[in-house]
Chains A and B, each alone.
Chain A
Amino acid sequence: MTETFKPETSAQVVEAIAWASSEETPLEILGTGTKRGFGRPMGDGNRIIAHAVDLSGLTGITLYEPEELVLSAWAGTPLAEIEAAVAAKGQMLAFEPPRFARLYGGDGGTLGGMIACNLAGPRRIKAGAARDHILGIEAVTGRGDLVKSGGRVVKNVTGYDLSKLLTGSFGTLAALTQITIKVLPAAETEETILLSGATAADAVEIMSAALNSSNEVSGAAHLPAGLASVSGPVTAFRVEGFVPSVAARSEALRALVGARGNVTTLDREASQAFWASVRDVEGVGDGDAPLWRLSVTPDKSADIMEAISARVPGTALFDWGGGLIWFRVGSDGGDTGGAVIREVLAANGGGHATLVRAPEDVRRKVDVFQPQPGPLAALSARVKESFDPRHVLNPGRMYSGV
């Protein structure tokens, strides 16, 4: 039976973690818990996780200055609340955070959870990931110290960038309490050009050409047959911005892509719906089959997928111009294809593969996050020690012993 603390102030988070640290009692750190299935099942040797710190009581936007492009909020603030607040001022979180909760059959999620997982959607190729938009952070380390890093200004090199280090650390270094992020104006309009029938290899090449053109493509994805509302595979290109600019760039792109096959154009509304479905991995991410997320050298993605598919059946969706592959495993040899996938990556320019979804017993035996070479793993472990020497925060969520 887990006892859950639900602090309402940073000071209460400090108290809870300082107590856990003094007792050497591990804690689960969570927001609304929508992404609990993401990561290794927690546990650290024989220590049972009997206590949790639920940060969803730390909620609310504390500062939003649209003209300064800055927003601060408590970590437990629902992401939907933040997106609604910025949308009301014609702004957005430019990294297009996906609704990851849906991959685990839920919905919702908090700002802190999104930052802790460093999520990013299709606009990653142009605008960066969550880590590129974090300006400042306040957090409680495993030592029970309330520390801050960064600030509320866009340009800041005062001290180490601990904000980035904590982004994507899955609550294993510190419990996030307050977060300051950069927001950006939302595009006035957008259009998407769909090319039908391209093979994955052709699609990757065309996406590269489109991204190398001066048309400022803000989304480049290739969907397998049967996903979009067309019969064959579809390759999509998005342009966003001011009305006259989108019209001109969309036309230039149609000429570029149209030389390779039949194209159609999605207007603003259809384009938004299309990219929301790519962002949330709809189709490939549906159901509960094991799901991998591969970050790879973009122009090697088609070869990588071909090599993997020859040995592990499944369905793939390419985003980020090929740099991101979502792979749903059909049937596997017990390890959901992990060994094959990582072997193929290593032979094709590196990158990393994350087992985003799988039953708990599988995630216990298959490395959920890309195993690191010895010296890097040792450095990561020392970084963990520096924040959480008694391993009380989400122990084992990323790597065994970290």
Chain B
Amino acid sequence: MPMLMPEPDAQTLARRDEIVAAMRAFVPGEGVIADEKGMSVYESDGLTAYRQMPMIVVLPETVAQVSAIMRYCNANAVKIVPRGAGTSLSGGALPAADAITLGLGKFNRVLEIDYANRCAVVQPGVTNLGITHAVEADGFYYAPDPSSQIACTIGGNVAENSGGVHCLKYGLTTNNILGIEMVLPDGEIMRLGGKHMDSEGYDLLGLMTGSEGLLGVITEVTVRILPKPTTARALMIGFGSSTAGGQCVADIIGAGIIPGGMEMMDRPAIKAAEAFVQVGYPLDVEALLLVELDGPPVEVDYLIGRVREIAEGLGAVSIRVSESEDERNQFWAGRKAAFPAIGRLTPDYYCMDGTIPRHRLPEVLERMSGLSEKYGLGVANVFHAGDGNLHPLIMYDANKPGELDRAENFGSDILRLCVEVGGVLTGEHGVGVEKRDLMSEVFTDDDLNQQMRVKCAFDPNQLLNPGKVFPTLHRCAELGRMHIHRGKMPFPDLPRF
């Protein structure tokens, strides 16, 4: 396994009993877990290939407790790994041997629903779907809908800037939150934003969103809620080539239509999904496009007609339009079950998360099948077609010697390919430990050093979520140094006035 985590600090490990006692003083009763059996459920997250037993698990219930824990850890150089529901697909919540895993699961209350201002104030351990459940009876919902929404928590969503199927039209987490309360590594509790729009000063709220638990621990979130669209209908369109499917996506957007959701699957993914849920996916096509339109009925009906025309013009092999909620849900059932469907075909699979400029899709798929041959491993693709976010699922068997390594190398090659065509390493799953060592494929040393300097502004002792995101973490003092060459003004050509 090529995962290299920072060497555990022997001094910290030697003080484990003392640290456990200190934690018990902050969080009484069952909130401190120090036995191996109790801690074992925390040893990995959604990226199950990586496992590590934490030093201690602490489950605080109040902000004051979080603050006290952080202050103690900062003073005593103890590392902390924050954790929500542990559904990260990039190892963002992977424990460290010499760190406290700080679980926010007990922060599970919806504190306030404010319809007049279209927002809700929730604790970070509330699940994504839990927010929608709290407001849907009154005709509202929370828009970002990562596929783990039944389990993943809003705190984790903020840390990862989670997306979902609907984010082309409704945005990511970062576009749907108004404020947070957080605790800095030194124990300081602070608020960013509130119920008003655009938080004041520097956009630290935007910075915190997607910072993967490296800057602070989120203890409260104010989310925007939206009135539910009155209607939603979907089209299921089959194409003879991924090129035609990709062109259809481009033409829909070119016609000024931003669908609520737009997903594409390749032949292996279609086959697996259909075998699993039998919803009538066409098996004779190379690409299946699901397009969902939402809004007032008159608009949805009109746009269904427009999209159908576009698809027909591109020689779609098959087109079905949902005529009922049941049918619409059926169309989605296959896509939503794509991961478990692939899981039936293979002992293990590895889910990637690159984003590419959409028009490069046919080329990327072709080169991916070349890589599939090279590594001798199958791959199926599901694709958030509207925003270019690609989820290749690499099929392997961890029990066969060398297959996991091959799958990981295959995955790295796919991500390098995404970067090469103008895309990025991760659209919504985060860097975590998984893509940490690929960061220099995207960023220069100067880019990464500046990001690390920002980390130092929040966490000068580098105690929060160690070993994640950055391939090599330099000491803050070293990063702060400036190399000055005084006295020269070396730009003779620079126009000046």
Contacts and interface: CB of A to CB of B under 8 A. Distances in A.
A74 to B, nearest CB: 15
B348 interface: no
13 contacts: A4-B496, A7-B494, A15-B494, A132-B175, A143-B482, A147-B444, A159-B431, A159-B447, A165-B206, A165-B207, A252-B296, A299-B117, A320-B197
A383 B490 CA distance: 29
Interface in A298-328: 298-299, 320, 323-324
B196 A214 contact: no
Contact of B197 (A148, A160, A295, A399): A295
Interface stretch (A18-26, A76-84, A226-234, A273-281): A18-26
A245 B428 contact: no
Interface residues of B, number: 105
Contacts of A173: 202
B271 interface: no
Interface of B: 115-118, 139, 160-161, 163, 167-168, 171-172, 174-175, 184, 188, 190-192, 194-204, 206-207, 209-211, 227-230, 250-251, 253-258, 295-296, 298-299, 302-303, 355-359, 384, 387-389, 422-431, 435, 439, 442-444, 446-451, 453-458, 469, 480, 482, 484-491, 493-497
A131 B117 contact: no
A387 B388 CA distance: 32
Given A15-B494, A155-B428, A168 B482 contact: no
A52 B455 CA distance: 30
Contacts of B172: 155
Given A19-B491, A386-B453, A161 B207 contact: yes
Given A153-B355, A158-B426, 5 more contacts: A168-B202, A214-B229, A215-B296, A245-B298, A382-B458
Contacts of B425: 158
B201 A350 contact: no
A304 to B, nearest CB: 11
A5 B427 contact: no
A399 to B, nearest CB: 8
A215 B229 CA distance: 9
A67 interface: yes
Contact of B116 (A57, A185, A208, A214): A208
Interface in A342-386: 349-352, 369-370, 372-373, 375-376, 379-380, 382-383, 385-386
A151 interface: yes
Contacts of A15: 490-491, 494
A214 B484 CA distance: 59
B308 to A, nearest CB: 15
A241 B449 CA distance: 44
Q: 3 closest A-B pairs (Cβ-Cβ)?
A: A164-B206, A245-B299, A185-B256
Nearest to A126: B226
Contacts of A249: 296
Contacts of A241: 295, 299
> Number of contact residues on A: which range applies?
35 or more
Interface of A: 3-8, 12, 15-16, 19, 21-23, 54, 57, 65-70, 90, 118, 120, 124-125, 128-129, 131-132, 141, 143, 145-149, 151-162, 164-165, 167-169, 173, 184-186, 188, 208, 211-216, 241-242, 244-245, 247-249, 252, 295-299, 320, 323-324, 349-352, 369-370, 372-373, 375-376, 379-380, 382-383, 385-387, 389-390, 398-399
Contacts of B204: 165, 376, 379-380, 383
A211 B206 CA distance: 24
Contacts of B430: 157
Contacts of A376: 190-192, 201, 204
A168 B424 CA distance: 25
B220 to A, nearest CB: 14
Contacts of A141: 450
A16 B203 contact: no
B454 A164 contact: no
B496 A6 contact: yes
Given A155-B163, A160-B451, A131 B203 contact: yes
Best-surrounded residue of A4, A155, A214 (most CB of chain B within 10 A):
A155
Contacts of A149: 447, 451
Contact of B190 (A7, A214, A248, A373): A373
Contacts of B355: 151, 153-156
Nearest to A184: B258
Contacts of B195: 297-298, 349-351
B253 A67 contact: yes
Given A68-B357, A155-B428, A159-B439, A118 B198 contact: yes
